[in-house]
Structure 1
Amino acid sequence: MKKDLDVITLTSLGGAGTVTGSKHLLEADGRRILVDCGLFQGLKTLREQNWTPLPIKPSSIDAVVLTHAHLDHSGYLPKLVKDGFKGPIFASAATRDVSEIILRDSGHIQEKDAEDANRHGYAKHKPALPLYGVHDAERAIERFSSTPFHKAVRLPGGASLTLRRAGHILGAATVELTWNGTRILFSGDLGRYGDATMLDPEPVSEADYVVVESTYGDRRHDQQDPTAALGEIIERTTARGGTVVIPTFAVGRAQSLLYHLWRLKAAGRIGLAPIYMDSPMAISATDLLCAHLEDHRMAADVCDAACAVATYVREVEASKKVTASPVPKVILAASGMATGGRVLHHIKAFGPDRRNTILFSGFQAAGTRGRSMVEGAAEVKIHGQWIPIRAEVANLPMLSAHADSEEILRWLSGIKQPPKKTFIVHGEPHASDALRVRIQDRLGWDCVIPQMLVAYQL
């Protein structure tokens, strides 16, 4: 039997009961390790939680372990550092590189939003202040420690960390932490099996406790070939003189789409329609793709060719010219759920015209414009204006970088002996509960959907 001092507790400070803001705290022997440190996104009630101080002092956290760089897993790091965290941040080398792009961009957006709020007078607080800024992001980046895959690394406090590939996006990892003889496995965000560009999630054979995501815990992805489905939409849109606007996640999805578009071009499927990548952050992330060939399936020549299929648009004036052009075309622009960024200007321009298509390529969280449009909204509010949506709206969920329910179960099935308990996190309530039922029925495992801020003894 463990002594009280050896007891480990797990507390979700985010990512429990919701699909965003992942932060999972392990405590033992008076030491603290935080797995992921994400921003809340989506519904206003969730976003407001970013401003609520953590229930523990950031300075009391000994280390952070990052599964991957997406904002809902990494985006609170600058705030954590700003508020006193001084420990190391362990992540794969590619995650460190991608995080640098994402966190700098997030700091810039936070500063710009505060500036706009002050200029236009719509801030609740005067003056409006950013949650954090670029300087805070840079301080967080300095704390990263690049961690190899498949090699046990000692953490402050005595825990041992092993990273394995999760697929999903460049650098994404599953996290195995062994502490006081207890093995705790975090899935992070699992990728797809047989994905065109990313590696399969690597199996893990043993775990005492599992913390697993459930983004798509309630559904299966369409099995249609994503290249063919994408080609059909582009062909019918350009045939009627329209433009395809693809709100895209700058890291992961944008690069996957380039690959599928390259395949279509190579097959002569989409004619002469120009393709634009209108996102400085996506362009920077694309540059990293060929720098980390070990983190995906593409050979160097394929990576180069896929990345060259689009015209890169960096400057604002060039983006405006793309919007103004009457030529049928394909525009990839962030953000993936149409919550901000240049894609909003394209939706304002192309959304009201029935010839055009707004094409989403994966999960759309509650409270986002993307969710509203996918669910058939006749209009959406952008920059204070109500914009009619008469364009065709489509979604290709098979392009998602997230494992579906069967793929999650496939990964879990690699664990030879049932864990003592499986915690289901990072999902909307109905998705998490559906996955709980599937795991219990198919694997017979003891599952719990943890509540936010409730400590669970391991």
Structure 2
Amino acid sequence: MLTLTSLGGAGTVTGSKHLLTNGDNRILIDCGLFQGLKNLRELNWEPLPVAPSSIAAVVLTHAHLDHSGYLPKLVRDGFKGRIYATAATRDVAELILKDSGFLNEKDAEYANRKGFSRHKPALPLYGVRDAERAMEFFSTVPFDTAVQLPAGATLTFRHAGHILGAASAAIEWSGRRVAFSGDLGRYGDPLLPDPVSVPRADAIIVESTYGNRLHEAVDTTEALAAVVERTVRRGGTVVIPAFAVGRAQSLLYHLWKLKTAGRLANIPIYLDSPMAIDATDLLHAHSDDHRLTHDQCAEICKIATYTRDVEGSKAITASAWPKVVISASGMATGGRVLHHLKTFASDPRHTILFSGYQAAGTRGRAMVQGAREIKIHGQWVPVRAEVDDLSMLSAHADADELMRWLSGFQHAPSRVFIVHGEDEAAEALRVRIDRELGWNATVSRQQQEFEL
């Protein structure tokens, strides 16, 4: 009997972990960290409901931390199988997981040095060595090719857009085909391919991040230009918290378009994130996974000053010259962007510009919703800067695009399970699936088991 259990990413947009069980055999689809609300983050420290050693394989749809970030802990806790991913996802995951391990270690060290943690001593969830060891378990899989998984299962990846290497996953096991959307990207994205439809599935597990919303139908480049130009006119700096993989490269693309059009001519642009710099370099290594030409990649990569070392980052913060600073993390949950926020958020000349989904419990969500102060490294920082959110820059499909992907199935599935969304978004998508497609859809909950 084949069953599905969501160990994360159900009722929330973080911590994606979906378990397929067939008798004594288990395959985990995605293995992400919980982020945002404290009660969710604390789940990262809890043992999984099943022993990691009992999981035969992990299928990784893409490398974002909320889908891959638990892998080092899974391996450290006893996982012995293989992690199946596209080649680009494997390379991006190496950047993200090593960076996550490094930040975990640095955050624990900083907390111990400053004494603001309740834990004595504060410990990292995992470190760089744990991340390096997890990379030893990866096996790369091409798109559109069926490959064998343990225990008689078969996997096929298809392009999902979203970020470099992202895939939806179709798994055939014991005569049943189960399709996992992963995170779906935008149709018509200038950098990434459109999500590819899956022709058939008995069960579909679909994300619902924007299940109740539509992205604004505006020119993204012009919207970005408007924010930068009005900030520069008042002598301010635009700080853009950005996901190092995907969003940072999209922002560079739109800024490149503005520069080539003769706009923002004297405005310095900084990419202050070693991981984002490395991820931008991966565009050259995986040219088949995006729309850009070699020459476009080269030009886009040249428009920003790259900052790898801490002293360079501090110099950016200290400069009074108007500028654009792109820095991770995208929801302001950690990373170098926090140091920029501590400096720039309190001054009304500046702008804090968000560029995608902000999960509940994150500093990004609080600022977008109008918070007048945020807590960083144990200190409360006033927010007097302009705060904007260009949600159309999101790498997630909106509600209409989710329905477009679902409509690509040639036959109605027996069940649809809605995951990776907050309650209102997931329920809104369920209603649309029922009304427009007439399919049996269910909003999944944590650790709720379904027979497939």
TM-score under structure 2 length normalisation: 0.99
- 1:140 pairs with 2:134: yes
Q: Offset of 1:120 from its aligned partner?
A: 3.4
Q: Provide the residue aligned with 1:243 in structure 2.
A: 237
Unaligned runs of 5+ in 2: none
Amino acid of the structure 2 residue aligned with 1:413: S
- 1:153 pairs with 2:125: no
- 1:45 pairs with 2:43: no
Q: Provide the residue aligned with 1:86 in structure 2.
A: 80
Q: Offset of 1:235 from its aligned partner?
A: 0.9
Q: Provide the residue aligned with 2:392 in structure 1.
A: 398
- 1:255 pairs with 2:271: no
Q: Where does 1:286-435 land on structure 2 (aligned, <5 Å)?
A: 286-435=280-429
Q: Distance in 2 between matches of 1:375 and 1:433?
A: 22
Q: 1:266 aligns with which of 245, 255, 260?
A: 260
Q: Where does 1:202-217 land on structure 2 (aligned, <5 Å)?
A: 202-217=196-211
Q: Distance in 2 between matches of 1:269 and 1:89?
A: 45
- 1:436 pairs with 2:430: yes
Q: Offset of 1:347 from its aligned partner?
A: 1.3
Q: Provide the residue aligned with 1:131 in structure 2.
A: 125
Q: Provide the residue aligned with 1:4 in structure 2.
A: none
Amino acid of the structure 2 residue aligned with 1:385: Q
Q: Provide the residue aligned with 1:3 in structure 2.
A: none
- 1:182 pairs with 2:160: no
Q: Distance in 1 between matches of 2:182 and 2:429?
A: 16
Matched residues, number: 452
Q: Distance in 1 between matches of 2:291 and 2:134?
A: 30
Q: Provide the residue aligned with 1:29 in structure 2.
A: 23
Q: Offset of 1:405 from its aligned partner?
A: 0.4
SS in structure 1 at match of 2:240: strand
TM-score under structure 1 length normalisation: 0.97
Q: Offset of 1:22 from its aligned partner?
A: 0.3
Identify the range of structure 1 (347-356 vs 204-213) with the bigger mean alpha-carbon deviation.
347-356
**Cα RMSD after superposing both structures:** 1.0
Q: Provide the residue aligned with 1:220 in structure 2.
A: 214
Q: Distance in 2 between matches of 1:119 and 1:354?
A: 32
1:166-191 alpha-carbon deviations (Å, 9 max, x no partner): 00000000000000110000000000
Identity %: 67
1:137-170 alpha-carbon deviations (Å, 9 max, x no partner): 1111010001011110000111000000000000
- 1:66 pairs with 2:60: yes
Q: Offset of 1:348 from its aligned partner?
A: 1.6
Q: Offset of 1:134 from its aligned partner?
A: 1.1
Q: 1:192 aligns with which of 186, 190, 196?
A: 186
Identify the range of structure 1 (109-118 vs 155-164) with the bigger mean alpha-carbon deviation.
109-118
Q: Distance in 2 between matches of 1:322 and 1:231?
A: 21
Identify the range of structure 1 (446-455 vs 45-54) with the bigger mean alpha-carbon deviation.
446-455
Q: Offset of 1:376 from its aligned partner?
A: 0.8
1:245-300 alpha-carbon deviations (Å, 9 max, x no partner): 11110000000100000000000122310100001111011110111111111111
1:348-372 alpha-carbon deviations (Å, 9 max, x no partner): 2111221111100010011111111
Q: Offset of 1:122 from its aligned partner?
A: 3.9
Amino acid of the structure 2 residue aligned with 1:25: L
Unaligned runs of 5+ in 1: 1-6
Q: Offset of 1:82 from its aligned partner?
A: 0.3
- 1:104 pairs with 2:84: no
1:71-113 alpha-carbon deviations (Å, 9 max, x no partner): 0000000000000001000000000000000000111112222
Amino acid of the structure 2 residue aligned with 1:443: L
- The verdict on how the C-alpha distance between 1:127 and 1:320 changes in structure 2, with shifts beyond 3 A counting, is closer
Identify the range of structure 1 (349-358 vs 408-417) with the bigger mean alpha-carbon deviation.
349-358
Q: Distance in 2 between matches of 1:131 and 1:372?
A: 25
SS in structure 2 at match of 1:177: strand
Identify the range of structure 1 (70-79 vs 320-329) with the bigger mean alpha-carbon deviation.
320-329
SS in structure 1 at match of 2:151: coil
